[in-house]
Structures are given as C-alpha cells and as structure tokens.
Amino acid sequence: MEETFEQYTARILSFATNGKPLDVLRATAPRLGTLIASRSDADLRWTPTPGRWSVAQILAHLSDTEVVLAYRIRMIVSAPGTPIQAFDQNAWAREMRYENRDCFASLSLFNALRTSVLALLASLEDEALDRFGVHAERGKESVRYLMRLNVGHDLNHLQQVERLLAERDRGREDARPLQPQPVKPIVSLETLQQLDIRVGTIRSVTDVAGTDRLVALVVDFADRQRTIVAGIRTERAAPSALVGQQALFVINLPPKTMRGQLSEGMLFDIGYEDGLRPALARPEWPVPDGTRAG
C-alpha cells in the first residue's frame, strides 16, 4: 500500500530531528562519495529485488531532486506565494532511465547543485527563509520548511544506500574504508617544478584495439592536440561521456607506445593509487586550454 502525502511527509520529517539543517545538507555529498568511492559499477547497479532502486538509481533521484529544489527555492524567494508544481519521482526514474545513469556522474551533478543551493540558503535573511510557495499537493511550504524536508530526504536515502551496500557485502570480506597511505619521501620544490601539468579539453575518446582497459584521449591544449592513453574503460560505463570535459595532464613525460598506440602524456587522476574509481583532477571552473597547474 502506497503512502499518502501526509504519511510520506511525516516519515521524511522524522529523520530531521537533530543537527543544524545547513550542516546536515552540507555533509550529504561527502558522505555519499565515501560510501561509493571504492565500489564497482556492478555493486552500484545491484538491487536485491525487482522494483527496489539500486544505489545508482538513488543517486540519480537525488541529483534530479536537487534540480527541483534549486528551482523551487529561487521561485519562492523571487515570487512569494508562487505555485509549486509536484512531480512523479517514479515517472522521472522511468523516463530518465535511472537504471542507466552513471552513479559518479549523478554524484558530481548533485554536489554542484547542492553547493549552489547551500550558498543561496546561507545568504538569505530570516524573512526570506519564511517566504513560501504553495505546493500542488502539500499546501504552503516555506524555504525554511523545504530545508528541513530535504534534510530528512537526504538522511532517508543515505540510510537506503548504506543498507543496499551492506546487503551486497553479505558473505564477502568486510569492506575496508580508505586508509591514507604514508607520505612519500620529501622532494625538492625544484623537482616538483620540473613536471609540466596543464589543463586540456578532451575532444574524443576511442578504445585501444586489443585491450579491455585502454582508451586513447585526443586532448586539446590550445597550441596543439595530443593523444594520451589512459586505462579507464573498466571503471567507466561510458568513457565517451568525458568528451568536452577539462582535466589535468602531465605533458612532459617521454612519449610511450602502449599496445600500438602512441601516448604523449599522462592523465592526472585522483583515486587510482588507492583502489578507488579514478576521478578527473580538473579546474574549479573552465579555464583556457593549456593553462599550467602549479
């Protein structure tokens, strides 16, 4: 039997009893990142029963819900009393193919949107927080109320993710959280400065024939394009999604031929050495291709 709107709201708000709302909202993306960092794509798409969302589907839902939250808050603040349109989360999941969404891409989108929402909320005075819109099914909802509702929403789905991963791990050795490794031997600043690390935009991604891990990235550094081979195919369901993204590359390493493909540099990633899914190291906002890091 499905919950009524009143039952759903009461259940979600029951999670939002402790902590300052902004602090809880700020902690959600890092908590999710820690939970999924070392997980395989199979783990994240696994579900024990038909109809129960996987971790990947939950994160797709969270990212889409954050789109809605960001819009609703802006509408309420700029036009108090505005109608708040409801949406059918199951219809969104079905039509937006949540089962095919990349979990880490969803987390990246969620984090970007949540950062924007938090900055907006922190800037609002009490009067603005008390402005409200009129939800089509739940009636008046102020910005302050939406903060509490989304705290509960976050905590509800965090618990779901934790339970799914615990169920997935039954019968396995205990999953070990990341343990920071010892610091490497000290190097001089002069040694570090010998590395030429630059921002480039990935223009194309193609599989390297005869391999199951390697792709050839064509990367634009403004003055020239380079082909850089990276072993990222097994960690990413769709490496082609990297096209158009900026990342950091080491470009003054000796050229190296890998399985018949010349590589003219190295992708600078985060996580591979620690057994995590590698994340791109990239600038906080778009910068000109060829910009140096240091």
Does 201 reside within a domain? yes
| Confidence label for 183 from pLDDT (cuts 50, 70 and 90) | very high
Which tokens go with 20? 């300052």
Determine the structural domain holding residue 126 and report its residue range.
5-168
pLDDT at 166 over 90: yes
Pair 243, 208 in one domain: yes
Mean pLDDT value across the chain: 93
Pair 77, 144 in one domain: yes
Q: 243-255, pLDDT tens digit by residue?
A: 999 999 999 999 9
pLDDT at 50 over 70: yes
Mean pLDDT of 189-198: 94
Q: What span, in angstroms and rounded, lies between the C-alpha atoms of 279 and 273?
A: 11
Burial class (CB in 10 A: 0-12, 13-18, 19+), 163: exposed
Work out the widest C-alpha separation in the chain, in whole angstroms. Answer: 67
Residue with tokens 């791990």: 169
The CB density around residue 170, as the number of other CB atoms within 10 Å, is 7
Candidates 171, 8, 141; CA nearest to 75 is 141
Q: What span, in angstroms and rounded, lies between the C-alpha atoms of 55 and 47?
A: 8
Does 266 reside within a domain? yes
Pair 268, 207 in one domain: yes
Pair 205, 253 in one domain: yes
User: What's the whole-model pTM score?
Assistant: 0.88
Residues 6 or more apart whose Cβ sits within 8 Å of residue 224: none
Distance of CA 1 to CAs 4, 7, 106, 142, Å?
Answer: 9, 12, 30, 29
- Mean pLDDT is lowest, of 177-181, 204-208, 243-247, for 177-181
Pair 150, 245 in one domain: no
pLDDT of amino acid 2? 73
Pair 99, 16 in one domain: yes
Pair 107, 222 in one domain: no
| Confidence label for 178 from pLDDT (cuts 50, 70 and 90) | confident
Rounded to the nearest 10 degrees, the angle between the axes of helix 143-168 and helix 21-36 is 20
pLDDT of amino acid 237? 78
Q: Are strands 132-135 and 83-84 parallel, antiparallel or unpaired?
A: parallel
Containing 292, the helix (H) or strand (E) segment is: strand 292-293
- Mean pLDDT is lowest, of 91-95, 111-115, 166-170, for 166-170
Q: What span, in angstroms and rounded, lies between the C-alpha atoms of 62 and 5?
A: 19
Mean pLDDT of 186-203: 95
Does 244 reside within a domain? yes
> Domain end: 121, 139, 168, which one?
168
pLDDT at 271 over 80: yes
